[in-house]
């Protein structure tokens, strides 16, 4: 029982499950009929992505063993080195096999994704310890994750590449908020994230700019691409609500509780937007505005 508990903690299944939304939303952008969603490649892809993110988090936990003991949110992961190694090996091999079964090119995508996150988490030398570079890894990684989902059901095109940038902006802004949450622990551990290097106040402004830029970008993109308005509408509304939320809470003390509250808020907000988007795709809401 203790071994199972250690495995679950080292796998960080809750965080992995949240990240599944980004590649899966790429898949939902690509599908053209409900039958496609009930196909074997889709189920294999969900399992493969879950395995890939589990491997990524396992490497992250393995690499951050020394730093995480200073972080109250992650302190219970201390001493789980063996569990991290086992989880990493099993999950990575399983993900590569599943991706290859769907489309061989997905194995290449997943390998690049894993290497990017290794570059981010590598002990003491990774981009995690370099201001701005860590955020760039999140931006590039998210483009790859979205396109992985899209290519399961459709060939890549300019539209899919353009939409992937929106989700990459959201993911990067969320990463900055994450750095704000962990500012005190990172500073204590000597980890030079953007929040530590530039200060909480400045980094909070960058978070606001990126979330706002994402909302503006998807609005402009939906106006330019005639197929997108009805599909992007939920994300446009979510972006507007999030910006209003940030403005209303901006003068509150910049402390961990504030950034944790914002993270809970935008996770629920964009999850709801994603559900509405999926419904719009399934029931073809776009036909009502043509």
- Which distant-in-sequence residues (6+ apart) come within 8 Å of 144 by Cβ? 109, 112, 113, 116
Segment 261-272, tens digit of pLDDT: 999 999 999 999
Q: Is 262 helix (H, G, I), strand (E, B) or coil?
A: helix
Q: Is 52 helix (H, G, I), strand (E, B) or coil?
A: helix
* C-alpha to C-alpha distance for 147 and 179, rounded to whole angstroms: 26
* Confidence check: pLDDT of 244 > 80: yes
Nearest to 127 by CA among 71, 193, 66: 193
Torsion of CA 144, 149, 150, 156, to 10 degrees: 40
Instruction: State the Cα angle at 246 between 73 and 161, rounded to 5°.
Output: 85
Segment 156-200, tens digit of pLDDT: 988 899 999 999 999 999 999 999 999 988 888 788 889 999 999
- Chain centre distance of CA 285: 27
Instruction: State the Cα angle at 235 between 233 and 236, rounded to 5°.
Output: 65
pTM of the model: 0.85
* C-alpha to C-alpha distance for 81 and 42, rounded to whole angstroms: 33
- Which distant-in-sequence residues (6+ apart) come within 8 Å of 239 by Cβ? 211, 212, 214, 215, 218, 219
* C-alpha to C-alpha distance for 236 and 242, rounded to whole angstroms: 10
Torsion of CA 61, 65, 67, 73, to 10 degrees: 60
Higher pLDDT pick, 281 / 204: 204
Q: What average pLDDT does the chain have?
A: 84
* C-alpha to C-alpha distance for 225 and 93, rounded to whole angstroms: 39
- Please report how the helices 40-63 and 81-102 are oriented relative to each other, as an axis angle in degrees rounded to 10: 150
Segment 280-289, tens digit of pLDDT: 888 765 554 4
Instruction: State the Cα angle at 144 between 140 and 149, rounded to 5°.
Output: 150
Q: Is 206 left (phi over 0), alpha (psi -120 to 50) or beta?
A: alpha
* Confidence check: pLDDT of 57 > 80: yes
Q: How much is the pLDDT for 74?
A: 47
Instruction: State the Cα angle at 115 between 113 and 116, rounded to 5°.
Output: 65
Q: What is the DSSP string of 81-99?
A: HHHHHHHHHHHHHHHHHHH
């Amino acid at each position: 029982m203790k071994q199972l508990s250690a495995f679950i903690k080292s796998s960080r299944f809750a965080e992995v499950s949240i990240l599944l939304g980004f590649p899966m939303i790429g898949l939902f952008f690509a599908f053209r009929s409900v039958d496609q969603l009930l196909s074997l490649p889709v189920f294999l892809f969900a399992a493969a992505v879950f395995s890939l993110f589990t491997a990524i988090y396992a490497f992250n936990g393995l690499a951050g063993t020394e730093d995480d003991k200073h972080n109250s949110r992650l302190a219970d992961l201390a001493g789980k080195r063996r569990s991290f190694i086992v989880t990493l090996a099993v999950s990575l091999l399983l993900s590569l096999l599943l991706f290859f079964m769907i489309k061989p090119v997905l194995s290449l995508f997943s390998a690049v994704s894993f290497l990017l996150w290794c570059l981010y988490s590598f002990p003491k030398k990774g981009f995690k310890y370099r201001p701005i570079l860590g955020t760039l890894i999140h931006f590039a990684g998210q483009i790859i994750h979205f396109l992985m989902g899209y290519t399961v059901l459709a060939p890549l095109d300019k539209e899919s590449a353009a939409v992937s940038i929106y989700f990459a902006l959201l993911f990067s802004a969320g990463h900055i908020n994450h750095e704000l949450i962990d500012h005190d622990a990172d500073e204590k551990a000597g980890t030079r994230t953007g929040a530590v290097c530039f200060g909480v106040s400045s980094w909070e402004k960058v978070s606001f700019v990126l979330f706002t830029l994402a909302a503006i970008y998807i609005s402009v993109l939906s106006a330019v691409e005639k197929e997108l308005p009805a599909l992007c509408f939920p994300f446009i509304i979510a972006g507007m609500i999030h910006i209003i939320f940030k403005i209303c809470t901006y003068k509150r003390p910049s402390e961990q509780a504030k950034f944790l509250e914002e993270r809970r808020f935008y996770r629920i907000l964009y999850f709801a937007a994603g559900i509405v988007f999926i419904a719009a795709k399934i029931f073809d809401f776009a036909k009502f505005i043509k």
